[in-house]
Chain A
Amino acid sequence: MTEPLLRLSGLTKAYPGVVANQDVSFNIGRGEVHALLGENGAGKSTLVKTIYGLVKPDAGSMTLEGQPFQPPEPRAARAAGVAMVFQHFSLFDAMNVAENIALGMENPPPQAEIAARVRTVSDQYGLPLDPDRIVGELSAGERQRVEIIRCLLQDPKLLIMDEPTSVLTPQEVEILFKTLRQLSSEGTAILYISHKLEEIRALCDNATVLRLGQVVGECDPRKTSARDMAELMVGTTLHVPEKAEKPAGEVVLALEGLSAKAPHQFGTALHDITVEVRKGEVLGIGGVAGNGQDELVAALSGEMKTAKAMVGYKGEGIGHLPPNARRKIGLLAAPEERMGHAAAPDMSLTENAILTAMTREGLTSKGFLHWGKARSFAEGVIATFDVRTPGPQNAARSLSGGNLQKFVIGREIMQAPEVLVVNQPTWGVDASAAAAIRQALLDLAEKGAAVIVISQDLDELMEISDRFAALNEGRLSAPRPAKGLTVEEIGLMLGGAHDMEVAHVDA
């Protein structure tokens, strides 16, 4: 095969103040699984948006099957055979699978025909999915299948996948990989974006590494170690978080039969969660999104009130206390959604510092705000956690995801909590920032705080947890020491095996 499927040459795209892509060139062959690696802000998303017709390059050109290819909009890209599965799903919870798929089509055929085609494709590729189910009831893995099947119905030549495994259990990842390998053997090329280097090593044929908008290297991921790839991405040697061995302290937080109704239609009820967390310990809670993580964080932060005795803090029942009363006694939380929950996008970083720190840092007296104090607290967070921003007067929305996450986590840690609950602390954060956040959490535990880390990233949990528990449909498994747990054991704890059917097509 002489002519590659997609050839990128000299792609350059500049935004005011930043060059997102500079002279990016590489090729993707037919049926090749090509990894695109890079830190947050390295220009990966700009590049795939260019290929998908969402961004127009300033310079450079692309060819698809030897023909000049410059899609003015995604519709043109789809017509040429390029499909994309985004990191964030664009599905409507209240509609069923077939209706959601019809919404993405130019000329949708009747519902029955779509349903039939969905069944065919899902059989063919071993992606079990019932077209009549309501999307709001599907797991994250199943929702992703809806997106993938939506793409496959277009019969694409190139499938772009942006961070596809961040929401999947190990078993679901296995199913996805099987499907992708089958697609690749049938000649569909896949451009695969991920932070998870071990996955890339398992799946991809080639990898292109971007740093600050430029191609800094290509490698064969099957022959390169994850550490080498990470260092290529970051450009320096990588600092791996260190965990000190220590004896567990006294119990500081005790959940006693914590139960709560689902707060809204597509929420998850919590059932009888009982667990103790000790000083100086990191409890890792794994589980696929939508299994009660948000609700558990809300019950701990005080956004959702429960019976007094369900949440015990140093022997006192605090389930009825509102958020600021809990902060006052040392129980702090950082929710998953940075924009609009942990931080207000349109407010400055100083104001966002006030958001949670006003009680513990004494940023108000008699209700009046101390702007100077708030500003220096925000500056302290920015300096200590290496938040890249011109200053605390900047709006939270002007920060990249990773930088805002460092600010949000830093804001809580700087308040010296006795118990810190974090949900998805490194979601969408690049490798070096993620390492810094994990290290900060370990340092906090080292100083004697109890830390609860809720995450879907099992590697992360194994790296920093002392004990591990799994959250599944609002129920928490009994915690087990993290040391020595195998991926299979974790998978079973997560209940990932239920309604899971490994591809029954032998590809």
Chain B
Amino acid sequence: MIMLEKRPQPSRGWTFATPVVAVLLTMFFGGLLFAALGQDPLVTIRTIFLDPLFSEFAWFYRPQLLIKGAPLVLIAIGLSFGFRAGIWNIGAEGQYIVGAICGAAVGLAFYPIESFIIFPLMIIAGALGGMAWAMIPGILRVRFGTNEILVSLMLVYVAEQLLASMALGALRNPDGMGFPGSRNLSQYDSAANLEIIAGSGMHWGVVTAFIAVILAYIALSRHIFGFNVRLSGQSPRAARFAGVNPGLLILVCMGISGALAGLAGLFEVAGPAGQISIDFNVGYGFTAIIVAFLGRLHPVGILLAGGLMALTYIGGEIAQSNLGLPIAAIQILQGMLLFFLLAVDVLTNYRITFGKGQKA
């Protein structure tokens, strides 16, 4: 008989080993899945996990890694504070959209004036927009005790409708001959989120993501705010006893995650995407939830997990075009990753014992 026995304290070794084991298990079972689809599992795994980095076209894929990874890391860092404190903001996708709309609106309002002040103003507007959208579930929870999971999730769909209305209405390109979508911000120099080094994929969003990782690391390990966040997640009563104001903590955590999601949206709309369009959002806000947990809610872990998740996106696209794999197979692979992570995670706090416990 296999039994789980609770460890007296969390295992340090397993804390670091679980993500690695989860990735290996995903590769193995993903390989089985691809074999069942009639593909060579080794080739497929190599295509997804290695080709983006080491194939002859890697010069094209490597910058993509930064472009796809940055919003994931930025959003996941914001979410990790709330998740640690037991505050479940599931609606980062909506905050990402609203941040992009607000930031783009500020930029478009100045068109065609050229000034160095425009891009910073857009950044502020993007952050505030995302934060405001996240404050709705935050304030409803604090004032009326509503469930922030449901409210934040439902606001994603509201944000999507808002996005469509903006792309067709207020923000539509007047010179666009009636096609939906705004002017292209990446062609408007003062508002463009350009690559800092051409061809590297390194735009301002990537820089912001790295800064967020560093600040989050300092906040969590050195600052009383991070301490209060961890304490509230582990023992809400002890947190109250320690003097933490639970309502304020909810608002701050929602605010941080909303602002970072909004920033990610702004950097995307001003750079890689270029314009507000009906299908602007591609699910970064939801994938970031996986990234946050895959990275153990730890800033450095999130950085690595964001890279890995971006890798599966790009590798998935390669596999789709070169091997003809359906996109659903890639999504299953990403789902497997989260599934195995949560399953293996049990080993951090429990040990497996075999037999009927005759020997201790």
Query: 0/1 per residue, B281-292, Cβ < 8 Å to A?
Result: 000000000000
Residues in A neighbouring B241, C-beta threshold 8 A? 301, 303, 323, 335, 341-342, 355-356
Q: A132 CA to B148 CA in the complex, in Å?
A: 38
Q: Is B143 an interface residue (CB 8 A)?
A: no
Contact of A16 among B237, B243, B358, B360 (CB under 8 A): B360
Q: How many A-B residue pairs have CB under 8 A?
A: 81
Q: Is the CB of B224 within 8 A of A344?
A: no
Do residues B9 and A398 form an inter-chain contact, with CB atoms below 8 A? yes
Given A58, A347, A367, which contacts B225 in the complex, CB threshold below 8 Å? A367
- Sample of 24 A–B contacts (CB below 8 Å): A14-B360, A16-B360, A56-B357, A58-B358, A323-B240, A335-B241, A340-B235, A341-B235, A341-B241, A343-B235, A343-B238, A344-B231, A344-B235, A344-B238, A344-B239, A346-B10, A346-B234, A364-B224, A369-B222, A371-B222, A397-B8, A397-B9, A398-B8, A398-B9
Q: Check B238 against A368 for contact (C-beta < 8 Å).
A: no
B227 at the interface (CB under 8 A from A): yes
| Chain B nearest CB, measured from A221 CB (Å) | 33
User: Which B residues between 213 and 261 are near A, CB-CB below 8 angstroms?
Assistant: 222-225, 227, 230-231, 234-235, 237-243, 245
Nearest-neighbour CB distance to chain A for B110, whole angstroms, equals: 37
**Which B residues are within 8 Å of any A CB, using their own CB?**
8-10, 222-225, 227, 230-231, 234-235, 237-243, 245, 356-360
Contact mask for chain A residues 347-381; partner B; CB cutoff 8 A; 1 contact, 0 none: 10001001110100000100111010000000000
Give the distance to chain A from B15, nearest Cβ to Cβ, in Å.
12
Closest chain B CB from A58 CB (angstroms):
6
Chain A residues positioned under 8 Å from B245 (CB to CB):
322
Give Cα distance in the complex from A327 to B242, angstroms. Answer: 10
Q: Range of interface residues on chain A? A: 35 or more
Whether A306 sits at the interface, judged by CB under 8 Å, is no
Bound CA–CA A167/B242 (angstroms): 27
Shortest distance between the CB of A84 and any CB in chain B (Å)? 20
A324 CB to closest chain B CB, in angstroms? 4
* A25 lies within 8 A of chain B by Cβ: no
- Min CB distance B275 to A, Å, is 41
Verify B360–A358 contact, CB threshold 8 A. no
Residue of B with least CB distance to A303: B240
Residues of B close to A275: CB separation below 8 A: none
Please name all residues of chain A whose beta carbon is closer than 8 Å to the beta carbon of B230 when the two chains form the complex: 347
**CB proximity of B241 to chain A, nearest CB, Å:** 6
Nearest Cβ on chain B to A409's Cβ, whole angstroms: 14
The reply on A3 being an interface residue by CB < 8 A is no
Q: Could you say which residues of chain A place their CB within 8 Å of the CB of B222?
A: 368-369, 371
> Residue B234 contacts which of A56, A301, A347 (CB distance < 8 angstroms)?
A347
Known: A58-B359, A302-B243. A347 touches B9 (CB 8 A): no
Chain B residues, CB < 8 A from A347: 230-231, 234-235
> B231: which A residues are within 8 A, CB to CB?
344, 347, 351, 355
- CB neighbours of B224 from chain A (8 A): 358, 364, 367-369
Determine which of A58, A323, A395, A398 lies in contact with B242 in the assembled complex, contact meaning CB atoms within 8 Å.
Answer: A323
Chain B nearest CB, measured from A122 CB (Å)? 35
Sort A-B residue pairs by CB-CB distance and give the 4 closest, nearest first.
A395-B9, A324-B243, A323-B243, A344-B235
